[in-house]
Homo-oligomer: A and B are copies of this chain.
Amino acid sequence: MAVTLKDIARRVGVSITTVSRALGGYDDVAEGTRQRILQAAREMGYRPHTIAQSLRRQRTNTVGFIIPTAGPRFSDPYFTEILTGIGNEAAEHEFDLLVSTRAPGAQEQEAYERMVGSRRVDGLLVIRTRCRDERITYLVEQGFPFVAFGRSDLDLDFPYVDVDGTKGLDEATQYLIDLGHQRIAYISAPPNLMFAHYRLAGYKRALERNGLPVQEELITTGRLTQEDGYREGSRLLTLEHPPTAIIAANDLMALGVISAAQERGLAVGRDLAVIGFDDIPLAEHSHPPLTTVHQPIYEIGKMICRMLIQLIKNEEPVQRRVMLEPALVIRESSGGC
């Protein structure tokens, strides 16, 4: 059986209270007693019973994270990276991480209600914010602590971190225009995702600023998978007047585009420029290496987790809205280097 405060108390010949206070570092226990207690605890291999602590303190020291998956064979490396960030930061603060994996929809909403209602976690992390995001409405309504990765179109005040996707796509587009490209296609993200709009806006803004037409036939949408990138890339390349450059809303789709181009015998970087977004590790070692808009995914994971924990502990006034600058990382897939 696991050893409890009671066991230590009995062995040292002292009350449970005193053991608790000695271990808790309070100064109302004599130095000698404290030593005997610490020693006994060590010898007996005492570990506090987290569940009991949580119940009593009304604090679980746990953050929740519901990963919005897309089907069973879901394997976006993006999520591993952000999860690593979140997990490592949580560990640093001695917080645990409760994870759920649910595809967006009713079951996902239920998962949120479960986590909030059952009081298993002190706060939640929301990623990939959506238009009229019900998760956010719900959490704000419940007054439940959370931090989001991504802004919202709801008129609600909540803490978030985001990357300026408009700027990122503007820069990427401008870079291609500067290289002389006139027909630049864009594979956008599902329109219910907030970032889809920001990035699309950046693309359009750059075109317009340079007096280039925004052509509907060059704008398409994919579900952020490599497969969709491949499919949409193929479509674009078989257009009567195919684009000379393709930007994808994320790296995975950009990699799909590269496959599509290579299958057609095009040399990516020479015959066709390709740019992605995210800068997942895969991007650096693709062939050719992918030009992409870098966002510090791991750091963002750490950051939102840190902010949430601050919020929970209501420590120092948290910076509630963090906007990060993306950076265009130029590699070979865009040519011109």
Contacts and interface: CB of A to CB of B under 8 A. Distances in A.
Interface residues of A, number: 65
B80 A49 contact: no
Interface string A17-34: 000000000000000000
Interface stretch (A81-89, A165-173, A308-316): A81-89
Nearest to A77: B75
Given A259-B286, A287-B258, A101 B87 contact: yes
A47 B117 contact: yes
A282 interface: yes
A291 interface: no
A97 B96 contact: no
Interface stretch (A6-14, A50-58, A148-156, A192-200): A50-58
Contacts of A96: 98, 100, 120
A73 interface: yes
B282 A259 contact: no
Contacts of A79: 80
A76 interface: yes
A69 to B, nearest CB: 5
Given A287-B258, A298-B73, A119 B49 contact: yes
Given A51-B120, A99-B99, A259 B280 contact: no
Interface string A246-271: 00000000011011001100000000
Contacts of A229: 285
Nearest to A96: B98
A263 B287 contact: yes
Contact of A259 (B2, B285, B297): B285
What are the 4 A-B residue pairs with the smallest beta carbon separation, nearest first? A87-B101, A47-B117, A259-B287, A75-B77
18 contacts: A2-B119, A48-B118, A52-B55, A55-B55, A72-B88, A73-B298, A74-B81, A75-B77, A75-B78, A77-B77, A80-B83, A91-B100, A91-B107, A91-B111, A227-B284, A230-B285, A256-B285, A282-B282
